[in-house]
Amino acid sequence: MTEQKKAQDPDETSETRRRRAGVVAFLSGLVAALVFFAFFPGLPHVIDWGAILVSLAVGGLAQWCCRAWIARAAKEKAERM
């Protein structure tokens, strides 16, 4: 017997897209901040706990901004329709 794939609900698809974008934004912010602390001239080239905590905060901020941007775009798209 063959199973048919269920078409995903549009809300479920957009939530999956938002979640993936949030993860990518978090990791990008985290890596960018760590690279900044590791290679910026004048700073000691040591990653300490402060740099790690700031990098986590930057990653969280990037994720929050990305999710807000996607939500605003979805709201504007819904208003246009």
Q: Using one digit for the tens of pLDDT, what is the confidence trace for 32-72?
A: 998 888 887 676 666 788 888 999 999 999 999 999 999 89
pTM: 0.74
Q: Which residues of 47-80 are buried (b: 16+ CB within 10 A; e: fewer)?
A: eeeebeeebeebbeebbeebbeebeeeeeeeeee
The domain spans of the chain are: 17-80
Q: Are the CB atoms for 60 and 53 separated by under 8 Å?
A: no
